[in-house]
Structure 1
Amino acid sequence: MSETTSYPGSVASDASAAPLLGALVVLYQPTRQHLAHLIKLRGHGVPLLVVDNSPAESAAIIEALEAQDIEYLWNANRGGIAGAYNRGLTRLFERGCCAVALFDQDSQVSADYFRVMLESCAALGPRAFAIGPRIYDENLGRFLPQIYSNGFWIRTVMCEARTSLQPCSFLLSSGCVISYRAYQCLGAFAEALFIDHVDTEYSLRALLRGVQFYVEPRLTLSHRIGEKRQHRLGPIRLTSMNHPAFRRYYMARNGMHLCIQYIPSLPIAFVPNLVTLLQVFQILLFESGKLAKLFGIGCGMVDGLFGRLGPLEAVRPRLAARLARG
């Protein structure tokens, strides 16, 4: 694979040259399997930066990664997943990358992922964009729908393999490539959200600021969202997510906050609250730990309404302690 480096904000002199693509992986208390995956990822030949959100820095992990020429940055979960993205993107863009692929420690990419993404970045040139693969939900055994929206209505984007880039409006952060121009235009990820709906907020921000997102139909990323389980209620088939109670808090809080923040301009910002309502029914019907999860949702909606954001331990230390005890 040949690459021509094009520095951030500039256009390569050769119009056919692909911009340099870097990769950012966020870790949290990784296992040996995760480290082995990082070494395999490094084999694709792109600059790789690891941002570790684990509570403590690990000398063993640093030594293992440095032996493979993998750069390591300890973030200590500052700003949650959004903080890890921001620290990593800033570092890679400063080093000359014109686009960066985001991954979590469980992401598995195909052998042609970086080749295809480089081609797509080159085709889009110096404009602001983000590109994501099709997401295959391993829990449900099917592809997640791709959504296009103008802020008022939504429609499903039909994606067939081997077709060209398709405009869309929402991307999962895992497997997504963000251009330097897009990061310049959109700014940093919202660290106050900490976790959950971080990529939803970024997608809504892109809608407001006219930054186009795309799905790359030639690529697939397998992903697990929660511990999804299928249930039958008579003729109706329903899904339960089975997220722990503290995640329910963040989902409800951040969904409510996005609604308050964006609904005057983008009515579809109400959708995360519909998801919260659906999760209440899932918990009541199918999930264990109902009281803790419902209490977490209630507290989250109140905090989201009044803009009390940040890590749960700082916003509601008693609730954090209670949920930690199960």
Structure 2
Amino acid sequence: MKRLSKSNLGIVVVCYDTGADFIQRLSKYIVVSNNVILVINKFSSFKKQQDLIHSVAEVFHSNISDGSLRIEELPDNLGIAAAMNHGIRQLMDKCEWVLFFDDDTMLNCQNVDELSDELNGAITYIGDRKLGIFALGYHADDSQVDSRHDKDAGATHYIEKYAVISSGSIIAVDTFKKFGLFEEGYFIDSVDVEYALRLKAGKFAIVQSSKPLMIHPIGRRYEINLLGKKILFSEHNSIRCYYIGRNRIAVGIKYMKQFPEIFLYSQLQTLFHIGRIVAFEDKKLVKIIRMLRGVAHGLTGKSGKLIPGGSK
């Protein structure tokens, strides 16, 4: 069995416009790893970025001094994929595994052994096949007692997925060496989906635990009543709608031969998403225009960061 330890597990946390309550979350990460990298995607406010860095330096001075915590500032907001890749490169020669967190994700375990036991359970679950990604189960917020992953897995404790979110994902360094790093052209959205499908196409398994070892907020959500059943949906601003539309179609096209069902599902998702915007959300026109623009760019192979009003 493979054992995680504080020395062989690296953690990459991507920070953007991070709030002051991040200090509590960071203290949880340091409990399970001696190799924590904070990657600062340039904040929208210079003062807010410096305030966070000063707070971290003040509270975790000893960790910074002994090298168990490092702060890496990027020159611009380069997107989630570039930020994660920057962290991976810092850890590739010193760790065997990398665990990723968004800055709003709270880890909810006592020690690294608890993570290791979950990882080994996933390895046992897939038998002779190779593990590509192991994802921690999560609650959407600290008031929820249910988890969609609990329901998916049922009594098995583990379930195979097409894709999982990057926050809470554990990936072996050897996997990055074999398959490469995250696709930076996507900037945000579908970065985790593309990488999971890349591994699945290479016959590696994507496994999620049903045990919620973290709290991961979903963001702004709204509830609708559909055929007597209450359903929660996430609401995104117009720029996110662009990336969602673009990257869904890009991923679907890229893996159409291996996973034609993903291509069909992604297109149905986009149509349903537009329908939700029309029926339930504000700023309908700008969101729909940007989503359709994203779809057009995905079809023509455009990628990178959106420049509002520009050529992208």
Instruction: Name the TM-score class by shorter chain.
Output: 0.7 to 0.9
Question: Could you tell me which of 272, 284, 291 is aligned with 2:285?
Answer: 291
Contact in 2 for aligned 1:27/1:52 (Cα 8 Å) = yes
Match of 1:266 in 2: 259
Match of 2:139 in 1: 136
Q: Deviations over 1:45-99 (max 9, x none)?
A: 53211111124563625733761422111124554100111110121122x2100
TM-score by length of 2: 0.82
What's the C-alpha RMSD, in Å, of the aligned pairs?
Answer: 2.9
Query: Is 1:175–2:173 an aligned residue pair?
Result: no
Relative to structure 1, the CA distance from residue 66 to residue 223 in structure 2 (aligned partners, 3 Å threshold; closer, same or farther) is closer
Query: Is 1:31–2:19 an aligned residue pair?
Result: yes
Q: Deviations over 1:6-64 (max 9, x none)?
A: xxxxxxxxx67546212111101222211342134323453211111124563625733
Contact in 2 for aligned 1:128/1:180 (Cα 8 Å) = no
Percent pairwise identity: 23
SS at 1:312's partner residue? coil
Contact in 2 for aligned 1:18/1:122 (Cα 8 Å) = no
- Give the counterpart letter for 1:91 in structure 2: Q
Question: Could you tell me which of 185, 196, 199 is aligned with 1:203?
Answer: 196
Match of 2:42 in 1: 54
* CA deviation after TM superposition for structure 1 residue 317, in Å: 3.5
Q: Deviations over 1:106-140 (max 9, x none)?
A: 11111236322223446749955321112323399
Contact in 2 for aligned 1:192/1:310 (Cα 8 Å) = yes
Mapping for residues 1-326 of structure 1, pairs under 5 Å: 18=4, 20-55=8-43, 56=46, 58=50, 60=54, 63-64=57-58, 67-69=61-63, 70-77=69-76, 79-94=78-93, 96-112=94-110, 114-121=112-119, 124=123, 128-138=131-141, 141=144, 142-145=146-149, 157-160=152-155, 165-232=158-225, 235=228, 237-270=230-263, 271-313=265-307, 316-318=308-310
Relative to structure 1, the CA distance from residue 230 to residue 79 in structure 2 (aligned partners, 3 Å threshold; closer, same or farther) is same
Q: How many residues align?
A: 292
* CA deviation after TM superposition for structure 1 residue 179, in Å: 0.8
Relative to structure 1, the CA distance from residue 87 to residue 16 in structure 2 (aligned partners, 3 Å threshold; closer, same or farther) is closer
SS at 1:43's partner residue? helix
More helix by share: 2
Q: Deviations over 1:242-263 (max 9, x none)?
A: 2111101100000011122111
Deviates more, 1:202-211 or 1:59-68: 59-68
- Give the counterpart letter for 1:217 in structure 2: S
2-structure distance, mates of 1:253, 1:16? 38
* CA deviation after TM superposition for structure 1 residue 213, in Å: 1.8
Deviates more, 1:259-268 or 1:112-121: 112-121
Deviates more, 1:120-129 or 1:106-115: 120-129
